Amino acid sequence: MKRLFGFALSLLLFLPLSVAFAKSTVYPVTIDNCGNPLIIEQRPSRAVIHDINMSEMAFSLGLQKDIVGVTGITGWYKMSPSFKQRLGKIPELAPKYPSLETLIASKADFFFAGWNYGMKVGGDVTPETLKPYKIDTLILSESCSHTISSQQAASMDLLYDDVKKLGVIFDAQDKADHLIASWKARIEKVSESNPLKSDSPVKVFLYDSGQDKPFTAGKYAMPNALIEAAGGINVTSKMSAGWATTSWESVAQMNPDVIILLDYQGANGADSLQRFLEAHPLMKYTNAVKSARYVRLRYEQLTPGPANIEAIEKIAEAIRPKYF
């Protein structure tokens, strides 16, 4: 009887994540994983988490004791002092993408990563290559656009759903629900602080990197949702892509009012990006550059994770400074 009950509950949990979860997990449990079922037989105890944004999701649920390693942090200069404190003694197993051998050697039973976030479609490390070693893989929802052609434009549900999934997998559903409710309350305050909702939205451009062509966020990438939640419009929202390149001509033609600069640590930080824009033959004439309306945001603020909420607040302040 107990086994049947667990099976029935696992079927319920495979429904869309808008369905209310039980307050405690009964294993085995089935989670939607980019349109495929991920069956978790028991609570993971040796997790490996890729990238700072996904690590911060896990940390927000207090899962450090269940994590045996992280990957993809220092190779891109993402280790902030506050993150290092939360990381504690958890080792970084690979500075960039982990190899299959690295994950096997860690004796991991769970890997949280995404397409182009620690895994590559058709690469050596995928859910299929890890499965024979009894390593379950949860795929970052934002990255599902690489394998699902009908993916909808990015929304805040990308963050909420991934945190809900982690809550179910690690039997931390109450914490997940509390976090999501607190995040939604903060975003609601941002919305309430914008008295000009009926006006034309302020146009916002995200500049990640690149000089010949700018690397930016299309409609499937998280910044598209952040800009919208802040009351703006992403000038590259018609790009049917996640993170991708476009042309300077098309960006300049859209004439953004505000520019988000991705502030990597090191030589390629926001200062370098700003200097490039101010000298660019097209971009220097845009409203954003002429008025020096920039927002500097870190990598973890622009990829799906808890820092998204602070990012929305900062973008909103840049869009409507007199209301903050």
Angle (CA) 205-209-215 rounded to 5° is 60
Contacts (Cβ under 8 Å, ≥6 apart) of 244? 215, 216, 218
- Is the pLDDT at 17 greater than 50? The verdict is no
Asked whether residue 54 falls in the same domain as residue 155, the answer is yes
DSSP type of residue 220: T
Domain shared by 260 and 309, yes or no = yes
The one-letter code for the residue type at 138 is L
What six digits make up the tokens of 70? 């992280």
In one-letter notation, the amino acid at residue 139 is: I
Distance between CA atoms of residues 207 and 235, nearest Å: 11
Q: Which of 114, 149, 181 is the last residue in one of the domains?
A: 181
User: Would you say residue 9 has pLDDT above 50?
Assistant: no
Is the CB of residue 259 less than 8 Å from the CB of residue 294?
A: yes
Q: Are residues 30 and 174 in the same domain?
A: yes
- Helix/strand number for the chain, H first, E second: 13, 14
The domain tally of the chain equals: 2
- Ramachandran bin of 185, using left for φ above 0, alpha for ψ from -120 to 50, beta for the remaining angles: alpha
Asked if 286 and 140 sit in the same domain, the reply is: no
Tell whether 253 and 104 lie within a shared domain: no
| pLDDT attached to residue 11 | 44
- Shared domain for 174 and 199, answered yes or no, is no
The label of the residue with tokens 């949860």 reads 138
Give residue 266's pLDDT band: very low, low, confident or very high (50, 70, 90). low
R_g (Cα) of the chain, nearest Å: 20
Is 127 found in the same domain as 85?
Answer: yes
Question: Rounded to an integer, what distance in angstroms lies between the CA atom of residue 187 and that of residue 194?
Answer: 11
pLDDT in tens, 64-73: 999 999 999 9
Q: How far is CA 312 from CA 151, 193, 250, in A?
A: 23, 12, 25
- Structure tokens that stand for 230 in this block: 């802040």
Residue 116 has pLDDT above 50, yes or no: yes
Looking at the structure, do residues 285 and 306 belong to the same domain, yes or no?
Answer: yes
Q: Mention every residue, 6+ apart, whose C-beta is less than 8 A from residue 51.
A: 71, 72, 73, 78, 113, 114, 117, 118, 303
Examine the fold and report which residue of 133, 165, 181 is the final residue of a domain before the chain moves on: 181
- Please state, in angstroms and as integers, the Cα–Cα distance from residue 40 to each residue in 55, 98, 109, 111, 112, following that order: 20, 22, 10, 12, 13
Q: Report in angstroms the alpha-carbon separations of 291 from 257, 287, 322.
A: 8, 6, 15
Same domain flag for 160 and 261 = no
CATH number reported for the structural domain that contains residue 79 in this entry: 3.40.50.1980
Do residues 146 and 265 both lie within one domain?
no
Domain containing 235 equals: 189-323
Percent above pLDDT 70 for the chain: 89
Is residue 83 located within the same domain as residue 146?
yes
Token reading at 245: 């390149």
Positive or negative torsion for Cα 284, 288, 292, 295: negative
Assess whether 193 and 177 both reside in one domain. Answer: no
In this prediction, residues 180-201 reach a mean pLDDT of 82
* pLDDT tens sequence across 206-260: 999 999 999 999 999 999 999 999 999 999 999 988 999 999 999 999 999 999 9
Q: Which of 181, 200, 231 is the last residue of a domain?
A: 181
What is the token pair recorded at 32?
A: 């939607």
Average pLDDT, the chain: 90
Q: What is the pLDDT of residue 123?
A: 96
- Cis previous bond, 214, omega within 30: no
Residue with tokens 């499965």: 131
Amino acid at 18: S
